[in-house]
Structure 1
Amino acid sequence: MAVKLLTPSAEQRMKAYHELSHRAKTLVKGAPQKPTITLSREFGCEAFPVGEELVKLLERMTDEVWILVDKSLLDEVAKEKNISEDIIRSLGQKPRWLDDMFATLSPKWKSDRDYYQFLVEQVVSIATAGNAVFVGLGAAIITQHMKNCHHFRLIADQNFKVQSMARRMNLSKQDAELLVVEQQKERNRVIRKLLDADERDPRYYHLIFNNGKVKNQKIVQSIADYVVK
């Protein structure tokens, strides 16, 4: 059986993940917590590039290790824990009754809710350890009441999002426009289904940036200055 090797960057992120997970388990009650940042975005905004640059800047500013956490990282963690890839890929897509039926028929079945419960536990654990930047995952909602967490959101006009996706994914404008519309609808639906929330609500966030009007570098610097006092 072929073994899928992680890219060097993914290996580094997995190492940081395990270090932070260990730190979360060994935190002394009442000890000061390190900050965690969540980046929510409209589909097509450049949250991942912002997150990558933010981690680099925060490491320089704090002289500490930071980790960028997104679905691809937690998918790798889920594989470590033997959660089916099919479940990971289909998160939020199957009707709830189908999950319930399979759960009844087989105790080995892992449902969407099983995976999402795992995901929420990982988000909370990493956020508790701190020095983490989350991209998506509903992390702003999941960690809303954690005092060490700072929440930011990227929005933009449709033209910026379409052009960004066309450039980054080498798509035609027409295909990029369809992708932006459909993926945003799907994201809203999954967040509503799994968290019973609307991540577009501005009250979740400390600051909201217009990604089409504010350059990524300025967003990165503004977030870092806000969080690192």
Structure 2
Amino acid sequence: MEPTIVCKDLIKVYDSRRVVDGVSFDVPAGSVTALVGRNGSGKSTTLRMLLGLTAPTSGTALVDGVPYQELPAPARVIGAAVTDVPGHPALTVVGQLRLVARSIGVPFTTVDDVLDTVDLTDARGRRISALSLGMRQRLSLACALLGSPRALVLDEPANGLDPDGIRWLRSFLRSFADSGGAVLVSSHSMDEIERTADDVVVLNRSVRYAGPISALMAEEHQTSLEEAFHSVLDKETA
């Protein structure tokens, strides 16, 4: 089976500076893959190239074998939450979701389903401006789920969630992957990634490691992903 997401030799140059340098990795169906790196490592730029928000200088980023821009109904293939919560602050939660549902051609009944999935049913009438950061994160995920996608791309989805919310997110991502979906998630929390993800891509402008978390820890002779992550990156400056 072909991987759902494929990045191959991605390069992005800004003002003669390479912020992403030859990045290649796959995200297979049925798995959670974490993209990790220090600030300025190119994580966000890589995600934006994958989603057609930034054009690569060279290289390719494919979803189901084609660039994101060429997907006939992208929201039904890949759900993304990589920017600030969409929508005007004066909109209500349900109003924002109905707006997105209309734009991607799904029935309003789907809105009720995703509200239940992300546990925002009781907040459906709240204005976006009144939401906590954790609730905004849930709303972003709800928008990503409206098209019933086969893949998710999430940038720091646990940011702002309380411990119960983090446990819920972990369970949701695991269930999504176990049902055959592909998940690509970036995060600064190595402990949470170790609990949630199957594979990890360590990035510092280029890929320093891509593969199973367990193999990385064994390769670096470390007992935690946090230690293995720093071990890989520290080799560059040794």
**TM-score strictly above 0.5:** no
With normalisation by structure 1, the TM-score equals 0.34
Q: Please, what TM-score do these two structures have when normalized by structure 2?
A: 0.33
Higher RCO (C-alpha under 8 Å, 6+ residues apart)? 1
Which is helix-richer, 1 or 2?
1
Going by fraction, where is strand more abundant, 1 or 2? 2
